[in-house]
Amino acid sequence: MHDAGEVFDAAVAFAAERGMQTPTAAVLIHLQEVHALAPGGTAGTRIA
């Protein structure tokens, strides 16, 4: 969680450009895998 620094500044700029309220903090996540959620034969298939 970031409440100062480069990540937070990017979140503040993002919010300002879109007319949103200034955030109090920003969360940076790193995805390791992405899986399909659509029902059917491909449900749960890793896509990235």
Element (H, E) at 39: none
Q: What is the pLDDT of residue 36?
A: 94
Confidence of residue 13 (pLDDT cuts 50, 70, 90): very high
C-beta of residue 24 within 8 angstroms of C-beta of residue 3:
yes
Q: What is the pLDDT of residue 23?
A: 97
Number of C-alpha atoms within 13 angstroms, CB side, residue 19? 0
What is the spatial distance between Cα 32 and Cα 47, in angstroms, rounded to a whole number? 11
Domain ranges across the chain:
1-48
C-beta of residue 2 within 8 angstroms of C-beta of residue 26:
yes
Q: What is the pLDDT of residue 15?
A: 98
Q: What is the pLDDT of residue 37?
A: 94
